[in-house]
């Protein structure tokens, strides 16, 4: 039955891409200028946004009092992570289980309006590569993916298996202890199909016996990762909470800082100078501290989160004030993937305007991923990744928490529950 459904989905997808579709709504968000255009209209064919006049006989989809937006982009996801597992349940999850979780989570993220994601770490022996490729072939439903494989860590750092008995053996192929090892690992990960390199530049919150504020790799190791990634046609994104680790990673030339929780104004200015992006993942930290601990977070991690949260707002404000380019990212996998849009209200609450928040998940994110000629704006020639929300999100960012319409690559994946007029003139 599953194969039959996939075959039907594939045939519907092909039909949707082959014929012309006109989308009409009350408004359209121009992500590059930040302007809202009324009324909004886009026509697509062959999976692309088209220019000029649509042909006679094109299907017209009337979306009413909604706003058309580019398909959203999340630059920090973990599709193969399952939120809410306690430590024992995590130990019992096999790599195969995690990849199957990814199949379910990919659909959740697409339905939330995210048509492209960057996966920032999967301990599945490159199961994220297989998931990406299956979605790209049309075998599975989900967003366009860029993947990292397992993130690189120092011995005892965030990304290592700390706090377990010594006689329990884990896969430690992601542990790096010298510049030479960094070079070799970048080459191997690229050979295995990853799109970018993820490193752990400081300790973390959801790890045992390490300090989120402490830097991890040496300056020489940071440089080795960055330089070899560039030679292999890609870049490095760096998990970093503490200011010293952020600064060392930025000085080495990483393309993005993930989290940036304890960043100083001086380091924020350095990021601006170097053209380094920040991917803030604000809701993840708050979700860890939800009353009743529904995510089953260990006490040690709760203590870390409680220490960091009061400082988080000032660090984010420092980045915004310095003019650092913010790219949207959530860390979903820490919390449920259906909540992929929940960072938007926090971005505004922490100091961005609604327009800036929208741009973080469209044009800014596309630039970070080096896909700004393909996605992130509603312009002729771009991929027909288009979503629609009720009302005007530049006035109420919370409209993004409900996503009634999703098109990816010219195929409609989600339609409004209240019905949607569709006709052929």
CA distances in angstroms from 395 to 122, 348, 355, 378, 399, listed in the order given: 36, 11, 9, 20, 9
With CA atoms as reference, report the closest residue to 317 among 270, 263, 365: 263
pLDDT value, residue 123: 86
pLDDT in tens, 296-348: 999 999 999 999 999 999 999 999 999 999 999 999 999 999 999 999 999 99
Which residues have C-beta within 8 Å of that of residue 3, sequence separation ≥ 6?
A: none
Identify which of 102, 33, 105 has the alpha carbon closest to the alpha carbon of residue 70.
33
Domain boundaries, the chain: 2-71+376-423, 72-368
DSSP 60-91: EEE--SEEEEEPEEEEEE-TT--TT--HHHHH
d(CA 228, CA 237) in angstroms, rounded, equals 13
pTM confidence score: 0.93
Q: What dotted CATH number matches 72-368?
A: 3.20.20.140
Q: How far is CA 248 from CA 49, 109, 136, 217, 244, in A?
A: 41, 33, 36, 9, 6
Give me the average pLDDT of each 10-residue run along the chain (425 residues). 46 57 98 98 97 90 98 98 80 88 98 99 94 98 98 87 68 91 99 98 89 94 99 99 98 99 98 99 96 93 94 97 99 97 98 98 99 98 98 98 98 84 55
Q: What angle do CA 242, 244, 246 make, to 5 degrees?
A: 70
CATH class of 2-71+376-423: mainly beta
- Distance between CA atoms of residues 31 and 242, nearest Å: 32
Q: Is the CB of residue 225 less than 8 Å from the CB of residue 186?
A: yes
Contacts of residue 424, defined as CB under 8 A and 6 or more positions apart, other chains included, come to: 57, 58, 59, 60
Residue 72: exposure state from Cβ atoms within 10 A (0-12, 13-18, ≥19): buried
Distance from C-alpha of 274 to C-alpha of 277, rounded to nearest angstrom: 9
- What pLDDT, on the 0 to 100 scale, is given for residue 163? 66
CA distance 226 to 190: 13
Where helices occur in 37-178 by DSSP H, the ranges are 87-92, 95-111, 127-137
Percent of the chain at pLDDT > 70 equals 91
In this chain, the answer to whether the domains covering 2-71+376-423 and 72-368 adopt an identical fold is: no
Please state, as a whole number, how many other Cβ atoms lie within 10 Å of the Cβ of residue 373.
12
Strand order of the sheet with strand 72-77? Answer: 72-77, 114-119, 144-146
Per-residue pLDDT at 422: 60
Give CA–CA dist 397/419, Å, rounded: 23
- Per the CB < 8 A criterion, the answer to whether 239 and 198 are in contact is yes
For 360-398, write each residue's pLDDT tens digit: 999 999 999 999 999 999 999 999 999 999 999 999 999
Q: How far is Cα 295 from Cα 239, in angstroms, rounded to an integer?
A: 21
């Amino acid at each position: 039955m599953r194969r039959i459904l996939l075959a039907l989905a594939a045939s519907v997808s092909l039909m949707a891409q082959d014929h012309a579709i006109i989308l009409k709504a009350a408004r359209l968000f121009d992500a590059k200028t930040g302007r809202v255009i009324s009324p909004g209209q886009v026509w697509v064919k062959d999976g692309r946004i088209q220019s000029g006049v649509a042909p006679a006989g094109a299907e017209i989809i009337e979306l009413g009092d909604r706003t058309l937006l580019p398909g959203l982009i999340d630059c920090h996801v973990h599709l193969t992570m399952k939120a809410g597992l306690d430590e024992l349940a995590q130990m019992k999850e096999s790599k195969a289980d995690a990849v199957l979780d990814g199949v379910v989570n990919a659909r959740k993220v697409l339905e939330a309006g995210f048509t492209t994601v960057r996966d920032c770490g999967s301990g599945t022996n490159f199961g994220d590569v297989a998931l990406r490729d299956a979605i790209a072939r049309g075998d599975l439903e989900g967003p366009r993916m860029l993947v990292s494989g397992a993130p690189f860590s120092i011995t005892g750092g965030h990304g290592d298996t700390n706090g377990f008995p010594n006689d329990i053996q884990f896969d430690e192929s992601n542990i790096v202890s010298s510049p030479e090892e960094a070079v070799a690992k970048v080459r191997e990960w690229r050979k295995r199909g990853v799109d970018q390199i993820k490193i752990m530049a400081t300790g973390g919150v959801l790890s045992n016996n390490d300090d989120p504020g402490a830097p991890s790799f040496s300056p020489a190791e940071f440089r080795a990762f960055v330089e070899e990634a560039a030679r292999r046609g890609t870049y490095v994104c760096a998990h970093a909470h503490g200011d010293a680790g952020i600064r060392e990673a930025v000085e080495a030339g990483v393309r993005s800082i993930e989290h940036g929780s304890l960043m100083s104004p001086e380091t924020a200015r350095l990021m601006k100078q170097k053209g380094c992006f920040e991917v803030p993942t604000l809701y993840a930290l708050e979700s860890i501290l939800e009353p009743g601990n529904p995510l089953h977070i260990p006490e040690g991690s709760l203590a870390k989160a409680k220490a960091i949260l009061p400082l988080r707002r000032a660090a984010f404000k420092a980045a915004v004030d310095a003019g650092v380019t913010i790219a949207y990212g959530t860390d979903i996998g820490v919390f449920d993937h259906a909540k992929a849009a929940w960072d938007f209200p926090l971005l505004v609450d922490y100091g961005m305007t609604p327009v800036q928040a929208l741009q973080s998940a469209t044009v800014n994110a596309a630039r970070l991923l080096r896909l700004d000629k393909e996605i992130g704006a509603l312009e002729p020639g771009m991929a027909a990744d288009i979503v629609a929300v009720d009302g005007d999100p530049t006035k109420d960012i919370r409209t993004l928490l409900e996503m009634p319409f999703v098109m990816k690559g010219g195929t409609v994946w989600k339609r409004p529950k209240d019905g949607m007029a569709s006709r052929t003139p």
